[in-house]
Amino acid sequence: MSYPEPRYLGETGEHSGVIRTSDTPPDLKIGTGTQVHYLGTGGSTNGAFGLYRWEMGPRPSGPGAHFHRTMTESFYVLSGTIKLFNGEKWADGKPGDFLFVPEGGVHAFRNESGEPASMLILFTPGAPREAYFEELADIANTGRQLTPEEWTDVYLRHDQYMV
């Protein structure tokens, strides 16, 4: 394995780092318990990655088993206990546990602990996941009920293939 082709061709470097402090409010609230922090979006990282802090309340939450065709997804548990599914079995993820899922890998996560839990979610390359998260939040926050056909449309537009 070698380094990728250069993406910056300048000679002196530039002052372009962006700091997001830990006290920045969440960018999105989904339902009554999940808060999402957009740490590094595909748009802000020039498509390199998308990194999100996912904070779940004590009520059960999380997606069913699914896969993505265009991106990898990684999970790093920060606090609490989050059930992680690698396509074969569920494991209780504790702080410091990590799950990497390549393109096409079936996976899921859930907080069923009855306590708050948080993790980092990393997508590579940096797909526009914010639109998907915001659509889910709108559905949850308005109580709108989607038909199976409408759910299929949502998932297809956001590279989410449920299994």
Average pLDDT (33-49) is: 96
Q: What is the signed CA dihedral for 157, 30, 101, 60, rounded to 10 degrees? A: -130
Q: To which CATH superfamily is domain 28-162 assigned?
A: Jelly Rolls (2.60.120.10)
pTM tops 0.75, yes or no: yes
Q: In what order do the strands lie in the sheet with 108-110?
A: 90-93, 82-85, 108-110
pLDDT band at 153 (very low <50, low <70, confident <90, very high): very high
Average pLDDT (32-56) is: 96
Q: Is the pLDDT of residue 32 over 90?
A: no
